[in-house]
Amino acid sequence: MILVNEKISLQEISNSEAADLFNLMKEVYPQAYDYFWQDGGDWYVNTQYSEENISKELLEENAEYFFVLYNGEKVGNFRIIWDKTLDNYNEKKKSVKLHRIYLHSKIQGKGVGKKLLEWLESTALQKQYELIWLDAMDEKPQAFQFYKKIGYQYHSHCFLPFDLLHDRYRKMSQVYKLLV
Ligand SMILES: CC(C)(COP(=O)(O)OP(=O)(O)OC[C@H]1O[C@@H](n2cnc3c(N)ncnc32)[C@H](O)[C@@H]1OP(=O)(O)O)[C@@H](O)C(=O)NCCC(=O)NCCS
């Protein structure tokens, strides 16, 4: 368990908690993204949070997968991949990818996201990492504005090919922050 501050902690997810993670994300993901999808996001949650995919992501080398706890309650997930490079960045930088951060709507806007990213920045700096990057959906201003406000810059973008995603929500940008 990692204590981020007196209210927020990160608890490593174990294989036996795959069902807990699925049930949490079945609630949290559609709160934010249901309108992106023809099926309300069911296919996406069922795929990303299947027992098989969770096991695969837990085994991935250099990755850490956490529940976010707020006052001891599981309210989201947080996954990072160390040494994952940002494609086509013009200089070689020691990089970490923030792969997932999803917080329950009841705790959004209370500074939890910002605290988690501050924790990631200071942890990355201690380990001599130079750059943090992530993928963000352009049509989700809550996330996009959040990253912009805490200093992330545009790098590149792509369009997601998933069949059930509505066309106007396909754009996904890679954004990054230099630490040094
Ligand atoms: C995006 C998310 C991680 C942000 O975390 P959060 O805890 O809600 O955000 P915070 O309260 O830490 O806000 C940090 C800053 O971003 C700003 N911000 C947050 N939401 C915003 C919004 N909708 N519009 C504009 N700015 C916003 C805040 O004003 C705050 O700035 P301040 O410190 O100057 O007040 C969280 O809302 C979330 O999980 N959303 C749903 C899932 C999602 O989209 N995840 C991202 C996937 S890439």
The mean pLDDT value for 131-157 works out to 96
Host domain of residue 91: 2-178
- Residues counted in the chain: 180
The two three-digit tokens of residue 52, written as one number? 């098989």
> Pairing state of beta strands 171-178 and 153-159?
antiparallel
How many other β-carbons are positioned within 10 Å of the β-carbon of residue 123?
16
Q: pLDDT over 70 for what percent of the chain?
A: 100
Residues 160, 82: Cα–Cα separation, whole Å: 24
The two three-digit tokens of residue 2, written as one number? 């990692």
The protein residue whose alpha carbon is closest to atom 33 in ligand 1 is 111
Mean pLDDT across the chain, nearest whole number? Answer: 97
CATH number, residue 147: 3.40.630.30
Inter-CA distances, 39 with 33, 34, 35, 42, 85, Å = 11, 8, 9, 6, 33
Residue found under tokens 């590149």: 156
On the question of pLDDT at 139 being above 90, the answer is yes
How many other β-carbons are positioned within 10 Å of the β-carbon of residue 28?
22
| Non-local CB neighbours of 174 within 8 Å, separated by 6+ positions | 86, 87, 133, 134, 135, 154, 155, 156, 157, 158
State the pLDDT at residue 90: 87
State pLDDT tens for residues 99-134: 999 999 999 999 999 999 999 999 999 999 999 999
Of 104, 103, 113, 105, the C-alpha closest to 146 is 113
CB 65 within 8 A of CB 13: yes
The mean pLDDT value for 126-147 works out to 96
The mean pLDDT value for 76-95 works out to 96
Q: Determine the residue of 5, 112, 146, 157 to mutate for testing ligand 1's pocket, defined as the one with the most ligand atoms within 8 A of the Cβ atom.
A: 146
Q: Count how many domains the chain has.
A: 1
Q: What angle is formed at CA 127 by the lines to CA 17 and CA 124, rounded to 5 degrees?
A: 65
Pocket residues: Cβ below 6 A from ligand 1? 32, 101-103, 108-114, 136, 140-143, 145-146, 149
State pLDDT tens for residues 14-50: 999 999 999 999 999 999 999 999 999 999 999 999 9
The mean pLDDT value for 89-105 works out to 96
Residues 143, 85: Cα–Cα separation, whole Å: 22
State pLDDT tens for residues 64-78: 999 999 999 999 999
